[in-house]
Amino acid sequence: MSQPQEADLLISGALRDFLEHQKIILRCKQNNSRLKCMVFSEEPFWDWLWDPCFGQPIEIVGEGSEAFEVYRVNHTTSDVFKFETLPYFITTEDYFFERYRNWFLENARLTPKDWIEKWNSAPFEFAYVAEKRVSDKFAVEFPELAVFALCQLRTRLAQLARNRGQLVEGNGWGHNRKRQDLDDWHLDKYQLLKGQSKFVSALENTDQKFYVTEKLFDAYAVGGIPLYSIAPRRTDILKLVPPESLINTFGRSAPDIDDYIRNNVSTKSFSESYATAQEKLNSIFSRLEELEFTRNRFAARFLREITKVMNS
């Protein structure tokens, strides 16, 4: 729609778009009193970084006669991202499913003994690929919403590992190249990490229910034991892999995590559950119909959210 005044619904990925264009929206609403405004956000990182009230379903923008409502649809206010086997993010590109299908088919053939041998012969103990973010604004927590920012934690963990000569890559670590600048950032990451490390950071930007990106799957795909944060009462990860096949970093500091993986982890204890995780992931990504089903279910839930907003 080239002219917003002709729309019945305006959707943006961030609240600030509505804050910055209040006058335009008010003029549009004068022409169409049914006009609704909605923030649809698929990335919790931008929610808590840009929107201090991201957990509230409705925001009142403006005052008095010039006030209007903006509806939020995100991981906190809606169940639109709830999943059974395939998290939303990896359904947004066909290549995720195609690659994981091939990679986990290969990995599922390996035995627990095979994994122990691979870990013992890996060139690195720890690997990390993510942007460097050190500011305290990347360490916020919202325990009442079960939302925990992880960017600063994983950066500090990576710095400790880098000091020991471990594999650390990403924007800010000696160069300013962002992954979006690469021809194929996902394949580049796989080729960089495949078989290179015993432990692989899979820490997300945010620990929040139903928020799972490629990071967890990539760690298993490249043959590393994932470091992942799973807050209490969060059960969505259990649908994907056995919890014993990864290291849960929730509630731990970077030095504690670093010390734990260096001195207290027996790869033998992980091997059985890790092999089981590979078999389970192979099963998930062998069913192409699951991708279509998950996409259709998301579309139905998203349309339901739009209907709720339009009928409000």
pLDDT tens string for the chain (312 positions)? 467 777 899 999 999 999 999 988 898 888 888 899 999 999 999 999 999 999 999 999 988 878 899 999 999 999 999 999 999 999 999 999 999 999 999 999 999 999 999 999 999 999 999 999 999 999 999 999 999 999 999 999 999 999 999 999 999 988 777 777 788 999 999 999 999 999 999 999 999 999 999 999 999 999 999 999 999 989 999 999 999 999 999 999 999 999 999 998 888 889 999 999 999 999 999 999 999 999 999 999 999 999 999 998
CATH ID of 88-289, from 1.10.3470, 2.60.40, 3.40.1000, 3.40.50: 3.40.50
DSSP state of 160: H
The DSSP code for 204 is -
How much is the pLDDT for 2?
62
- Number of Cβ within a 10 Å radius of residue 48: 25
Question: Closest Cα to residue 171, out of 202, 133, 131?
Answer: 131
Q: Measure the CA–CA gap between 186 and 238, rounded to whole angstroms.
A: 24
> Alpha-carbon distance 41 to 202, whole Å?
22
pLDDT at 266: 84
Query: Helix or strand or coil: residue 89?
Result: helix
DSSP H or E segment with residue 68? strand 68-73
Contact 106, 230 (CB under 8 A): no
pLDDT score recorded for residue 267: 83
Predicted local confidence at residue 305, as pLDDT: 97
Nearest Cα neighbor of 108 from 275, 269, 223, 267 is: 275
- In the chain, where are the structural domains located? 4-78, 88-289
List the structure tokens of 170: 């990403």
Distance CA 125, CA 119 (A): 8
Q: Give strand pairing partners of 246.
A: none
| Residue tagged 């800010």 (tokens) | 172
Centre a 10 Å sphere on the Cβ of residue 113 and count the other Cβ atoms it contains. Answer: 11
